[in-house]
Amino acid sequence: MDQEKVEKYFSLLLSEGLGLDLSDANLVDTPKRVARMYCQELLRGCCESEEEPDVRTFPNDKKYSQIIAFDRIHFTSVCPHHFLPFTGLAWVLYIPKDLLMGASKPARILEYHSVRPQLQENICHEVMDHVVREVDPKGVMVVLRGEHGCMKCRGVKQVESGMISSAVYGAFDQDVSTRSEGMFLISLSLLVK
């Protein structure tokens, strides 16, 4: 990723493409700010040096066998269709087998898969696959609710609409009662203020 080129071409987009006056006090540093935002924040996952997060695990020596739910994890990504951000909440649930995952790891995994132009549906599956690969659990459920800039500020202009997507594996996929219990835990987390 080349931050200087992003700045240069965004400056051209503003000045030559949109006809804006870059000497305006409010626009003087905008190309630099936008380039930094894309390269160091929103799209840093496009960088080849962005390493997968270290997923610290611990032995499940007490043989915990019930659902562990990480709730209301905030995420931000960028839609590849309009390059507008979408933000929302995620729930990552798993049923451990031999390993337990560190409490901060689902948020780190979610962030890793979100910081690139991405479809919400793909984030769900990538997070689920990542947890399966690192923890080898009995089951995983990932649910995301996103509010998309492309729906809010353009097109249909639905400011309160969102999208919910899910991905399930193992026990959550094979057993309806396990999936229902997971959804019940998610609904409980929504009651927390």
Q: Give the model confidence (pLDDT) of 90-118 as tens digits.
A: 999 999 999 999 999 999 999 999 999 99
> What average pLDDT does the chain have?
94
Burial of residue 139 (CB within 10 Å: 0-12, 13-18, 19+) is buried
Query: What's the confidence (pLDDT) of residue 192?
Result: 85
- In the structure, what pLDDT confidence band is assigned to residue 161 with cuts at 50, 70 and 90? confident
Q: Is residue 80 within 8 Å of residue 148, measured between CB atoms?
A: no
Domains in the chain: ranges and CATH: 3-42 (no CATH), 57-191 (3.30.1130.10)
Q: How confident is the model at residue 50 (pLDDT cuts 50, 70, 90)?
A: confident
User: For residue 46, what pLDDT is reported?
Assistant: 87
* pLDDT (0 to 100) of residue 154: 86
pLDDT digits (tens, 9 = 90+) for 136-150: 999 999 999 999 988
State the average pLDDT over residues 118-146: 97
Measured distance CA(49)–CA(109) in Å, rounded: 16
Tell me the mean pLDDT in the region 169-189: 97
How far apart (Å, rounded) are the C-alpha atoms in residues 193 and 183?
Answer: 18
Q: What is the pLDDT of residue 149?
A: 87
**HSE, side-chain direction, 13 A CA sphere, residue 166:** 13
Residue 119 has pLDDT above 90, yes or no: yes
Q: What percent of the chain has pLDDT over 70?
A: 99
Tens digit of each residue's pLDDT (9 = 90 or more) over 61-73: 999 999 999 999 9
**Does residue 159 carry a pLDDT above 90?**
no
Q: Determine the pLDDT at residue 62.
A: 97
For the chain, the distance separating the N- and C-terminal CA atoms, rounded to the nearest angstrom, is 40
In this predicted structure, the answer to whether residue 130 has a pLDDT above a threshold of 80 is yes
